[in-house]
Amino acid sequence: QVQVVESGGGWVQPGGSLRLSCAASGSISSIYFMGWYRQAPGKQRELVARISSAGTTNYARSVKGRFTISRDNAKKTVYLQMNSLLPEDTAVYYCNADLRTIATPRNDYWGQGTQVTVSS
């Protein structure tokens, strides 16, 4: 059984910073991509950033230069450092892990989501 658990959301004023963390656990044999998605009220879930096991990253255009994704493979953990936050960054942020376990083939696993609110 795989668990994906996020932490680090909260409220911040515009221009502020937050750091999200996400750890995957269970009988994991390989993690390919880990990433962050977000969903604002009334909108579809969208990719924010993701990172491969080799460290290759890609970002949504709206966050490039403000957010940084990083990963600790040994800890099966991914981070999202969010700087210069804007009100439009307000959303529920979901962690995604693209992995396979010792018993199941490659699949996507999602965390429960963490709320990020940017307002004055």
pLDDT per residue as tens digits for the range 82-94: 999 999 999 999 9
Which pLDDT belongs to residue 68? 98
Q: Average of pLDDT values for 29-51? A: 97
Which pLDDT belongs to residue 16? 98
Give the pLDDT confidence of 60-90 residue by residue, as tens digits: 999 999 999 999 999 999 999 999 999 999 9
Q: Average of pLDDT values for 24-48? A: 97
Which pLDDT belongs to residue 113? 97
CA distances from 24 to 12, 19, 21, 36, 109 (A): 26, 17, 10, 13, 9
Which pLDDT belongs to residue 30? 96
Q: How far apart are CA 24 and CA 28, in angstroms?
A: 8
Which pLDDT belongs to residue 62? 98
